[in-house]
Structure formats: structure tokens, C-alpha cells
Amino acid sequence: MEDTITFDLATAPLRELNEKLQTLSGGTNQTAWRIANPRGAHALAVGITTPVQVLIDGHAGYYAAGMNDGAAITINGNAATGVAENMMSGRVHVKGDASQSAGATAHGGLLIIDGNASARCGISMKGIDIVVKGNVGHMSAFMAQSGNLVVCGDAGDALGDSLYEARLFVKGSVKSLGADCEKKQMGAEDAAILSDLLQRAGVAAKPEEFTLYGSARTLYHFHVDNAGAY
């Protein structure tokens, strides 16, 4: 796009970039940004509260797109720990792989990871939708409270350990389920949610190819008969 503003981190500081993005007004005409030479910098494009488009043209370090509230952020590479952490709304699209804790504690928005996600993907998620086109590592969706995690590949050990009301859809195999996570019957509402997320993420798969996992609800209140699960 010819109106795209290019910010080159090889010649200007990260602090200046984030200040510019965080102070954009709602009526700004600076709606398309490209970050050149990110070179794995940490905290790229964090705390944006305006619905702008941001392309991080390369690999991102820790906590990229954290606290996003409305922006559409694309990472044209891999993302390190905590991408889209505490996102409130908007969309974050990682074109490569993501390290651990992707989408951690996020309250809303959509996180798409084209590759694999490492351990604890969606840890303590609180309403975010996450679509991982590859595999996820161990302890994914640990203490997930609400939202939806879609895994088009396989899941590692202890999936959904101590989860609350989040839905976990897995197309491949699950190495093991965490405490209080169990296989569920997928209903019409679940299938509709999954179908919508697959479409929005550009995944050519059908809901019936996935297995739904959710909370057995035995850890909501302490009971001595369930002591071994804690």
C-alpha cells in the first residue's frame, strides 16, 4: 500500500515506535504501518488501542503485540514468548511458529498461528480465540477460563490442566489430558463456533474432524474424594 508508513528499527528506537502507535487517535489516517528490521526485538507493537493494521516484517521477540486492543497485527516470521499476551480485542497473525505462552491471559480477539506453538499456549486464557494450524506443546490451556483453542495438529502432555469453561478443539492426537480435562460431546453450538473460527483463520477443515475437550468440573470446589486430582 502506498499510504503505508514504514518504521525502520535499524535507524530509529523501539520506544519511539511504540509511542507513535500507542498515541494514535481514533480518527487517524495513519492506519497502515510496516515495521522493518525488527530483528527479534522484544515488546514490538504493544498496547495499541486504535484499529490500525501493523505488519512486523520479520521475527519478533518476547511479548509482541501484547495488550492489543483493536489492531490487526501480522508477524511475518516467528514470535518468541508471550505473543498477544493480555490481548483485549483485535487480531494477531503469526506467519511462523510461536514460542511458549502464546495468547496468555488474553481476554478477547483472535490469535492465529500458522506454524506450531510451544508449551502453555493459551495459559489462563480469559476469552481469546486461538487457532494453531500446527501442534501445541505441553500444558496448553492450563487454567484456561473462557474462550476457544483450536489445534489443527497434535497437543502435548497435560492439555487443559485445571481448566474452567474454555473449549479445546483438537484435530490430531493428544499426548495426555491434564487434571479435570475430559473429552466432550460436540454439540451444534460448539460445531458452529469451531466452523466460524476455521473459516476466519483460513483453515480448510471440517468441525467433525476435531475432538472437543472441556472441564469435568470436579475441581471447582474442594472435595476429599477428588484430592488426588489437585
**Rounded distance between C-alpha atoms, residue 144 and residue 44, angstroms:** 25
Percent of the chain with pLDDT over 70: 94
Cα angle: 83, vertex 61, 56; to 5 degrees: 80
Cα 34 off chain centre by: 21
Statement: residue 2 has pLDDT above 60: no
| pLDDT per residue as tens digits for the range 68-108 | 999 999 999 999 999 999 999 999 999 999 999 999 999 99
Q: Is 186 helix (H, G, I), strand (E, B) or coil?
A: coil
**Rounded distance between C-alpha atoms, residue 82 and residue 32, angstroms:** 24
Statement: residue 223 has pLDDT above 90: no
Find all residues with CB under 8 Å of 87, minimum gap 6, and list them: 65, 66, 67, 68, 69, 103, 106, 107, 108, 109, 111, 128
Q: What sign for the dihedral angle of Cα 108, 216, 131, 105? A: positive
